[in-house]
Amino acid sequence: MQLELADAAATDALGHRLAPGMLAGIVYLHGELGAGKTALARAILRGRGYAGTVRSPTYTLVEPYEIGDSTVYHLDLYRLSDPEELEWLGLRDMLAGEQTLLLVEWPERGEGVLPPADIRITLQHRDTGRTVNIEAETTRGHQMMGLLESI
Ligand X SMILES: Nc1ncnc2c1ncn2[C@@H]1O[C@H](COP(=O)(O)OP(=O)(O)OP(=O)(O)O)[C@@H](O)[C@H]1O
The answer to whether 35 contacts ligand X (rule: CB under 6 A) is yes
Q: What is the DSSP string of 125-147?
A: EETTEEEEEEEE-SHHHHHHHHH
The answer to whether 36 contacts ligand X (rule: CB under 6 A) is yes
Q: What is the DSSP string of 44-67?
A: HHHHTT--S-----TTTSEEEEEE
Taking CB under 6 A as the criterion, the residue among 7, 82, 93, 149 binding ligand X is 7
Instruction: Tell me the one-letter amino acid at 75.
Output: L
15 binds, among Mg ion, ligand X, none (CB under 5 to 8 A by kind): none
1 binds, among ligand X, Mg ion, none (CB under 5 to 8 A by kind): none
Residue 100, φ and ψ in degrees, nearest 5: -125, 130
The answer to whether 76 contacts ligand X (rule: CB under 6 A) is yes
Tell me whether residue 29 or residue 91 sits nearer to ligand X (CB atom): 29
Tell me whether residue 49 or residue 59 sits nearer to Mg ion (CB atom): 59
Question: Which of these segments, 11-19, 31-39, 86-94, 112-120, binds Mg ion (CB under 5 A)?
Answer: 31-39
Taking CB under 6 A as the criterion, the residue among 37, 48, 109, 120 binding ligand X is 37
Exposure of 11 in the CB half-sphere (CA atoms within 13 A)? 24
Taking CB under 5 A as the criterion, the residue among 38, 63, 74, 136 binding Mg ion is 38
Do residues 118 and 126 make contact, with C-beta atoms less than 8 angstroms apart? no
